[in-house]
A and B are shown apart, each in its own frame.
Chain A
Amino acid sequence: MKTVKMLIAMIALLASMAAYALDLDGAKGQGLGGEQPDGYLGVVKATPQAVELVSDINAKRRDAYERIARQNGITLDQVARLAGQKAIEKTAEGHYVKTPGGQWVTK
């Protein structure tokens, strides 16, 4: 009986995680978002959850870029573009990246 209760609790936990836990990897894996040359995430396929997630991550990225730019004596855009190149380089195969021409392609 105890095992059954544990099993039910685990299923419920997994179900709730599936419903709410759209994270960066999940969004990229589902083709909802991708990396851009400007250093920020872009929305490939718009859903409310994807836009909310991308907007939130970009706000945090911008804070990080600004802090790094201050520390290194360069501008925010310079840091963001450098970070964008790195992020695109490290994007996993099959995930979306945006070309300098503005097209979304799978890497």
Chain B
Amino acid sequence: MRMKRRVLQLVSGVLVVLMVLALAGALALYAMGLRVSGLSWQQGLLVSQWRWQPQDCVQWQGENLRLDGLWPLRVRLSTLQGRACPDEQASDAITAQGFPDGLPWTPPFDVTVHQLDLPAVSEWPLPTLALSVRQRHQQWQLGVCSLQSCIQASYGQQDGLWRASGDGQLGEWLAQVRGRWQWQGSGTWQGTPRGQLSVMLSDVGRVEDEASANVSLDGDFVGEGWRLRAALSEPLPLMPGWWLEGGHPSVLQGEGATLTAMDADLRMTTPHGEARLQARSDARQAATGQGALTLSGPALDGRLAFVWQDRMLTLPPTTLTLPDGISVTLPAALSIPMALNGEAVLPLQVSYQGLQLQTKASQLRWQGADWLWAGALALQGRWNGYQVTGQWEGEATPRWLAGKPLRLTIAQGEDQLNVSLPVEGMPLVPEQGTATAKGQWHGYPVQAALQFARGETGWQGSLSGQSRVVALDHGGKLEARVPWRWQGNALHVQPGAQLRIDQGLVGQTLLRPVTVSTCQGLVIDEQGMRGALQVRADGLAAARWQLPRVKGEATLKGDQGQAHFTIDDWKTALSVDGTLEGGGASGSLQLNGALVPAMGQGLGMTPTAGRFQGDGRWQWQQGVSVEGELALADGEVAWGSVEGRGLDGLLAVGYEDGAPWLASRGPVTVQTLDVGTPITNLTFALEGNLSRWYFRDVRADVLGGSLVAPALDWPSNQVQPVVISQIDLQQVAALQASPTVSLAGRIGGYVPLQLGEDFLVVEQGRLANEGPLMLRVPPSQSVQAMAQSNQAVQLALDSISHLQIPDFQARMTMDREGWLDAQMTLKGVNPERKNLPVVFNYTHRENLLALLRSLRIGEEITQQLRTEKQ
């Protein structure tokens, strides 16, 4: 009984220790990065999901890990997925660990992975694999298969012998490549490793190309020494237009990473020309040899000879011409140690389209696959008409850059832009950064910052800049904020991009702020710009006129575009479309709106009602020209007290070389023109350029008669006749506010006018009766008062109180100072005085301008200016 209790205590103690050890082991694995979930027991331990994530990066993860037995250990996984994690110590770790001497001892095991996904090698995706590894008595067997490929390998720890073979389809591993691969090898992996490998690539070619070749590779190695023999049966197609062919089998020999001997004659044919590499070791001494890389063809030229001796490769000065006008020059002989670790002075000059890039104090050091370049770069030359200079000094490794900011200066004439890009800590292929630019470009002062970063889909960032519109005399600060993204060879301007120009002056015209933005973004590529731009211009102001706010949207589709703008204060809409062509642009436009008083602010007349509609074509080629038609309907216009109504007409309008013009198509009609005397049915033809106006064929009805003027030009120094006829004196008399005379009959004549820019001259105007006239002076209170004042006046009034007038003549002149001289002669009889003959002469002289000045409106206006000036 006591014995049994002690056994129980011992077993309990062992179990507790095992549990503690298991718990400690689990905690340690957790701390190292192992995470498991879905732990269960189904005829063995089952882990539904697990992952290995040291330093928070998931390196391996799997599903359905099943433990089928402990001795031998049997593990099955349905999936195992590996991922690449950044590991800065990786290269150092490999160097420190070296190459292992055989495989380590392990207990017997079977590991099966039904679906193995390995991380891509240098962005080269691998196919899904199935893996089985088995070890019994330290005899290893490996099988890795994909859908079309399989590799088997075996290794025995007792004798160190290894053997491997495999075959498969190349297309499964290399996209766009077809052919079959086979390889086999054998050797020992114990002590000094040695072995031989044989690879055969059959019918290798590109998928879309019928040409193919066989490639054979045979190699062997002993320790770090190795030898490789490669042969091509036919020219091998690499890519469209690119072929590789070998004059004879190439033989390479080396020690570790060092190439010690070579015998090769390879020729690469490309669309740009041919590159031929010839190298041959000295027959007496394998470590010595010479060769050359020879370039020839339409875009290739040059020869780079090289010799190697005592593990030192020497290159003489030379220049190689490459495609796209690039040439690379080695200005001095170059000696490069053929060793895993070493350093070399590396002077280089690269030319491209007039640009020369030169290294200074250039030195390259390497250690295994790691390298570091230190020195300076100087860029200078001309590119597309610009003088370009640049400097950079620092160090570069495969992982980062360090040194001074990269500086670039681009200049042309008085334009100069200085660009600076800090590179300290930046990767060799920059991931992000901010370049700044300052200077003057196309006469514009520029200060800008370009922020860039590599995103998941490409480069992206933002451009912010400031400038000033130099065409403006004052103000005109320009600010841009443009978030951007580079994707698929296109620049995407992101929503929210905005360009704003502050107010500024052009001469004496104030340009109010203008904002151009995009709500949905723009795409800029080889086809041009596509997207929509929102435009808001707060208008223009000059001393005598204002253009109200204009807003709208422009839609761009490559070299085509259309825009819709509205001027709300003018109730006007403008639509424009156009196409870029031959360095200019052209298109059509439509305009419609209402005539509103605000349009007349800078004019001598005020449009009060009506509508207009127009369309036309426009062209931009060293200047803007516009031509089209403008229709006016139901227009109403006022010149102070002079009002015109019922204005209709069709005008041809245009603008070219800064000069506007218009011409009527058909007659322009005005139903009524009230100048104090009503004029109706006015028609005329019109031409003008806003500074000179030409009226033709002017006709109107006035006071029961008519008015005709063949031509009226304004301004003009010519005298131009206006013919009036059949004026009804009864209607003339009716114009009196309180009639003192009554008239009957009709008169006519002509009035020669000279219309000056700011004066009116009447030269020898003549009026005469067109039939018998009648004059009556009723005995009104005012007439009786005049008659009682003077006997002569009473006699005269009695004589003309009732006149039948067969002869009426009137003459009038007015000079440019406003002096009006009028003479009138009436010859008739008074039927109420036994047909008393009456001859009545009347002359009048008065300055009409002085008459106007004498009115009190002058003072009234002055007062209003005082009170309404603000």
Verify that A and B bind, or say they do not.
yes
Q: Complex: how many Å from CA A75 to CA B644?
A: 12
**Is B868 in contact with A75, judged by CB distance below 8 angstroms?**
no
Q: How many residues of A are in contact with the other chain, CB < 8 A?
A: 41
**Is B865 in contact with A87, judged by CB distance below 8 angstroms?**
yes
Question: Which of A24, A41, A76 makes the CB contact (< 8 A) with B604?
Answer: A76
**Is A86 in contact with B862, judged by CB distance below 8 angstroms?**
yes
**Is B542 in contact with A55, judged by CB distance below 8 angstroms?**
yes
**Is A82 in contact with B861, judged by CB distance below 8 angstroms?**
yes
**Is A47 in contact with B543, judged by CB distance below 8 angstroms?**
no
**Is B857 in contact with A48, judged by CB distance below 8 angstroms?**
no
- Residue interface mask B601-634, A partner, CB < 8 A = 1: 1001110000000000000000000000000000
For the residues of B in contact with A, the DSSP-based class is mixed
**Complex interface: stretch among B31-39, B261-269, B503-511, B717-725:** B503-511
- Closest Cβ–Cβ distance, residue A92 to chain B (whole Å): 13
**Is B868 in contact with A64, judged by CB distance below 8 angstroms?**
yes
**Is A75 in contact with B862, judged by CB distance below 8 angstroms?**
no
Tell me which residues across on chain A come within 8 A of B541, comparing CB atoms. Answer: 51-52, 55
Nearest residue (CB) in A for B639 is A75
Given contacts A82-B857, A83-B861, A87-B865, are A59 and B641 in contact (CB under 8 A)?
no
Is B741 among interface residues, defined by CB-CB distance under 8 A? no
Nearest residue (CB) in B for A36 is B543
Given contacts A46-B505, A64-B868, are A55 and B510 in contact (CB under 8 A)?
yes
For the residues of A in contact with B, the DSSP-based class is helix
Q: Complex: how many Å from CA A40 to CA B542?
A: 12
Given contacts A51-B505, A59-B601, A66-B606, are A73 and B862 in contact (CB under 8 A)?
no
Q: Complex: how many Å from CA A83 to CA B861?
A: 6
**Is A60 in contact with B868, judged by CB distance below 8 angstroms?**
yes
**Is B505 in contact with A54, judged by CB distance below 8 angstroms?**
no
- Residue interface mask B571-584, A partner, CB < 8 A = 1: 00000000000000
- Closest Cβ–Cβ distance, residue A75 to chain B (whole Å): 4
Given contacts A46-B508, A70-B640, A74-B852, are A41 and B857 in contact (CB under 8 A)?
no
Question: Which of A24, A51, A79 makes the CB contact (< 8 A) with B640?
Answer: A79
Is B5 among interface residues, defined by CB-CB distance under 8 A? no
Residue with the greatest number of chain B CB neighbours at <10 A, chosen from A40, A68, A76: A76
Q: How large is the interface on B (under 10, 10 to 19, 20 to 34, 35 or more residues)?
A: 35 or more
Is A99 among interface residues, defined by CB-CB distance under 8 A? no
Is B864 among interface residues, defined by CB-CB distance under 8 A? yes
Is B642 among interface residues, defined by CB-CB distance under 8 A? yes
CB interface residues, A 73-103, toward B, < 8 Å: 73-79, 81-83, 85-87, 90
- Residue interface mask B474-516, A partner, CB < 8 A = 1: 1100000000000000000000000000011101111000000
**Is B640 in contact with A74, judged by CB distance below 8 angstroms?**
yes
Question: Which of A40, A54, A85 makes the CB contact (< 8 A) with B858?
Answer: A85
- Residue interface mask B835-870, A partner, CB < 8 A = 1: 000000000000000001101011111101100111
**Is B543 in contact with A55, judged by CB distance below 8 angstroms?**
yes
Q: Complex: how many Å from CA A48 to CA B543?
A: 11
Given contacts A48-B510, A82-B853, are A41 and B474 in contact (CB under 8 A)?
no
Tell me which residues across on chain B come within 8 A of A77, comparing CB atoms. Answer: 604, 639-640
- Residues on B lying within 8 angstroms of A by beta carbon are 473-475, 503-505, 507-510, 541-546, 601, 604-606, 638-642, 676, 758, 852-853, 855, 857-862, 864-865, 868-870
- Residues on A lying within 8 angstroms of B by beta carbon are 23-24, 40-43, 46-48, 51-52, 54-55, 57-66, 68-70, 72-79, 81-83, 85-87, 90
